[in-house]
Amino acid sequence: MVSGYVYDPEVAAARARELRAALPSWATLLFALKANGFPPVVQALAAEGGVDGLEVASSQEARLARDLLPAGSVVAAAGPAKHPGLLVELLAHGVDVVHAESALELRRLSRATQQTGTRVSVALRVNPARVDVAGTLAMGGRASAFGFPEPEVPAAIALATSLPGLDLVGFHVHAVCGNRDARAHAAYVGWCLDWAERTASAHGVDLGWLDVGGGLGVSYDGESPLDLAVLATELDRLRPPQGARVVLEPGRWLAADCGWYAAEVVDVKQSYGETFVVVRGGINAFALPGTEDFPLPLVVLPVDEPREPGPRAEARDTRVTVAGELCTPEDVLVRDVHVPQVRSGDLVVMPKAGAYGWEFALHAFLGHPPPTRDVLTATLPADLTLEPTP
């Protein structure tokens, strides 16, 4: 192996069933396909008792959704830069709802319906003026390329209802990523329900769709995980607007635990008092840890018969930085983690790599072979699920 991912689709399916059981009966559950588009994982998530459909953000994702999903599944399309050709392709793939991000996009979408001879349901993506929930990334409550600022929503409603081919069905509010505070997240959903109902009533919108986004956080660093029982209790107290389909669209929370990333150690070297483990497949194969500074767990899997003959570079009982093969100092997977032993020819393995792994990587930079993807066919060592060594 050079570098690659292995997935256990049943882990993702079990997460979907677990979340489904915690959600109120009025909730529709979609999977954000950008998190993991590996077909066996998607099919497992969409199996009986799993998600109701997918959220997509490109023509390729829309085609994949229709190829993999069972009949009757829901597909919603999002993204801040839907050009005219993409909108035509989304309609051709039969997406159910398009989350519109701007006035120009609404006009483009209307023209696309005229070109394709179709009508389409539209939800306005809204950037709230204030968001009282925190996460690893914020897309709402601040200046952003995403959606209509809240004060512009009345004008957007008027435009959407005036354009041919568009059926305005509601709103999309996706404010944060990576929130692990269950009470705060339920309160955010409650705000979305209240705001959407008031806004729809004030402007004559027949509210049939309210997407409250994803944003459920995963604990990568040993901190307290999202309390699903608390989330279930708090959501159960909410009452959605009558007739509205309320959508949650997590990606990371459903898929993170189903994947592992492994890369071959090429070299172990010291530089000015620091130890570097250099692997094949850094951010060109797994960009998430470095770009979002997530301290993912790391395990060294010994390889006693390496492919290369001769002496092996080695480090023992020390803290290391794991760097990749790209010609940039930014190519780092993890920094300052303890390893008992690591040698050239061994494998470093990172669990919780099932979300924003293969899909999020910089495959083209330098043209190294992309990481492989496969379904897990053997039992992994139990210590691969350990949290980072302090």
Q: Is 62 within 8 Å of 93 (Cβ atoms)? A: yes
Please give the backbone phi and psi of residue 316, each rounded to the nearest 5 degrees, phi first. Answer: -130, 140
Find the distance separating the first CA and the last CA of the chain, reported in whole Å. Answer: 28
Distances in whole angstroms, Cα of residue 344 to Cα of each of 278, 299, 350: 9, 14, 17
d(CA 244, CA 206): 9
Alpha helices in 179-307 (DSSP H): 182-203, 228-236, 252-255, 288-291
Which residue is it, tokens 């008992």? 340
d(CA 365, CA 346): 24
Catalytic residue among 177, 192, 258, 327: 327
- Read off the tokens for 153: 């929503």
The secondary structure of 112-164 as a DSSP string is HHHHHT--EEEEEEEE-S------SEE-SSS--SSSEEGGGHHHHHHHHHHST
Please give the backbone phi and psi of residue 156, each rounded to the nearest 5 degrees, phi first. Answer: -65, -40
Active site annotation includes 192:
no
**Active-site residue list:** 327
